[in-house]
Amino acid sequence: MSGTLPLSASDRRFVEARLASRTFPQTVLLEGGSDEARRTLADALACALVCTADGKRPCNSCRACRKCASGSHPDVQRFGPEKKNGTFKVETCRAIRQDAFVAPNDGDTKVYILDDCQAMNDSSENALLKILEEPPAGVYFLLTCPTGSALLPTVRSRAVTLSLPGEEACFSEQTLETAAALSRALTQSEWALLQATAPLERDRTEMGNVLRCFAAALEEALYRKAGAQPRAQLKEAPTLLAASFTKPRLYALLTETRALETENDGYENANLLLTALCYRLHRAAHQHP
């Protein structure tokens, strides 16, 4: 398993030792890295926790591991923000709290993976905190978040933090300027967005660069909301976004930006891509929940 965990050597040793001794922390915060890396690590840890092998876990061959691999293990549940408005609802946290006291279906272990916890508001975090303070035996919580500073100190204090290495993206001055213009235009109108993105019409590569840069600025804006300082390399965009939009709006914008980045190569017509970009970002920024 050590070769598959995107962690420092010391954190890998810690995880492997705790899994082997059956003393794994009941609440773990996975921060840093990419969304995919955090999700992959959470999946691997969940599989290891429900694995029924006597030796190294996960064994990847027992019935529990096979169920995890197929995404059908009944005692591994994943929750996250709603796609509609990007918020991690307090009702979801209350439901998790109640379900935690229900006996597992298989074995004696239950694992809850809570993705993108930065989308929780204080009410959601406080609802979750009640179960994190005294979780039932055999119940584990794996929280994922770009940075632990986005969560309340009371929640962080209940979790063991494992940090994934991140990659510092470097962007050209032109890309940074376009991303900043996009940030400013979002506070105005779709027409302003069209004007800000017009230079990208014939440059699909730069479109991808700007989308990545804008996503990074949105992440930094979320960090800023939590009291952290954004990176100077991204200039004024994170500060402007943090001042202009609520946490749920920033998360909705980030979700749409990442989707557009993935879809970039799928659009044959650049004008259609720009139209979709302006409409979807404006909608995410301003539509009612």
Tens digits of residue pLDDT in 69-82: 999 999 999 999 98
- Is pLDDT above 60 for 250? yes
| Span 184-207, pLDDT tens digits | 999 888 888 888 888 887 777 788
Average pLDDT of 163-179? 78
HSE on the CB side for 36, CA within 13 Å?
A: 1
- Is pLDDT above 80 for 39? yes
Q: Which helix (H) or strand (E) holds 74?
A: none
Average pLDDT, the chain: 86
Average pLDDT of 12-24? 88
Q: Name the token pair of 64.
A: 């529990």
Edge to edge, the sheet with strand 110-114 lists 76-79, 110-114, 139-145, 27-32, 160-164
Average pLDDT of 24-28? 95
- Rounded CA separation 221/231 (Å): 10
Confidence of residue 267 (pLDDT cuts 50, 70, 90): low
Average pLDDT of 279-285? 89
Let me know: does 139 contact 110? Beta carbons within 8 Å: yes
Average pLDDT of 81-87? 81
Amino acid occupying residue 60: N
Q: Give pLDDT, residue 2.
A: 42
- Is pLDDT above 50 for 3? no
- Is pLDDT above 90 for 107? no
Q: Name the token pair of 108.
A: 């004696």
Output the CA–CA distances (angstroms, integers) from residue 109 to 17, 65, 93, 220, in the order listed.
Answer: 18, 13, 19, 36
Higher pLDDT pick, 20 / 28: 28
Confidence of residue 9 (pLDDT cuts 50, 70, 90): confident
Average pLDDT of 221-241? 74
Provide CB contacts within 8 A for 3, sequence distance 6+. Answer: none
How much is the pTM?
0.66
Amino acid occupying residue 150: A
Average pLDDT of 128-132? 95
